[in-house]
Each structure stands twice: as structure tokens, then as C-alpha cells.
Amino acid sequence: MTVQNSLAGDLLRVALQAHDGRLKFPGVLAPTLRGAVLVDLAAAGRLQRAADGTQIDTTPTGWDAADELLTGVNDHPDRTLEWWLRRGTPHLHELIAELLADGVWSIARHGLGSTTTRYVDAEEARIQNLCDHVENVAAGTATPEDEREAALSCLAVSSGSTAPVGDDRLNDLLNSCGPISWIVRDVIAYLQAAQADDRAGLQANLMTGGFQLGSV
């Protein structure tokens, strides 16, 4: 397993906007990528849902990012999924560094005064086709080829890499994830709850700010 053939790697590459070389919603993307690594581990049989909890096979996958997360989950079984998605590894910059080291991505230069890092995918045409297909799968105008592609579509929707879909459509996609649907559902549920909390916090800040402004 490597970043190039992983679900997490595909999700990261789909999140790159080819027209300007920037990532969509990196704040949401980071925990979604950690969730994608967990899905990769479940697809590889390293994580399994059982009646008495999640069963873990610590056999190395050969991918450092996945093995580090696998070891961490095994060593700290008391930590919740929320902990791993919010504060665990791998980090966004580590996965980007792997794509750069493997020559999958390169950094686009935009003059000495540019302060924004932009990336170029070496397989831009193929990834654009993948983006289009994932968008169509999410919208229901195409059928996922397998459970992995269904999972990619679910995570792409949740990270904002595709247009939002209704709850019924998302549930259909989750049902298409087959034996890994349990971990995809858990990751999606966390992301939805976290985004709802963020929106509630923003609304509270706006209301508080408005009250303070009006009190001056």
C-alpha cells in the first residue's frame, strides 16, 4: 500500500483544483484524509468490526502513514474515532510530501512574490476524469464500479470536493460501500457532527459579535 494506490491518495488528488493548483477546504480535508486511511486499513483487512469492538491486525502494510496510524490505534484502544480524526496522524502536509517525493505532484511557481503554494498533478488528465466520474457517482448519474469507488465518492462529498448531495443519496452511496460501509459510516457521521458544531460555533460568534457591537 502506498499513497499512490490508496483511497486517501485518490481523495487528496481529487481535492486539488486543477485550474489554480489549490486544495479545496483544507481544514475539512485533513480529518477526512485520516478517515480515508482508516478506510484503507479496513479494506486491507487490518481493521474489522466485531461484536466486542474493532479487531486490529497490526501486520505492516508497507505504507508508513497507514502503519503509524494502525500502531497508534492498537496502542491506545481507549481513544475514540473522534480523537483519531481530529488529532491523529497522518497530517495533511505529510501526505502532500509523499506525493511530491514520488513525483506525483510538483510545486507550481508563480513568481517571487507569491505566498500561496500551488501544485500540479503529473496525471492531470486522468485525475480530472476521476474527478468528473466521482462527481457523477455522487450525483447518481453514474454507478460506482466497486466499494472503494463508492467510499471515495462518500468522502469526496463530505470534504466538499464534489457538490453536496441529499441524505437519501448519501445513504445509497454508503450502502454501496459493502464490507467497509461500517467504517465509512463512522467517519461520515463524525465529519457531519464536526461541521455542524463548527457552524453552530460560527453562528454563536456572529450573534455575540453583533450584540457587542450594538452595545458600544
DSSP string, 28-48: HHHHHHHHHHHHHHHHTTSEE
Q: What is the mean pLDDT of each run of 10 residues along the chain (216 residues)?
A: 92 87 86 93 89 83 90 86 84 92 88 71 94 94 94 93 91 94 93 70 44 31
pLDDT at res. 52: 74
- Is residue 118 helix, strand or coil? strand
CA-based R_g, the chain, Å: 18
DSSP secondary structure letter of residue 132: H
Q: Which three cell numbers stand for residue 190?
A: 463524525
The DSSP output letter for 51 is: T
According to the model, what pLDDT value does residue 207 have?
45
pLDDT score for 141: 95
- Which residue, 91, 123, 118, 117, is CA-closest to 104? 123
Tell how far CA 22 is from the center of its chain. Answer: 16
Q: Which residues of 79-105 are buried (b: 16+ CB within 10 A; e: fewer)?
A: eebeebbeebebebeebbebbeeeebb
User: Are the CB atoms for 53 and 159 separated by under 8 Å?
Assistant: no
Contacts of 106 by beta carbon, 8 Å cutoff, 6+ apart: 100, 119, 120, 122
Q: What is the pLDDT of residue 114?
A: 57
* pTM, to two decimals: 0.85
Q: What percentage of the chain's residues is helix, strand, coil (to nearest 5)?
A: 60, 10, 30
pLDDT at 36: 95
Contact 193, 166 (CB under 8 A): no
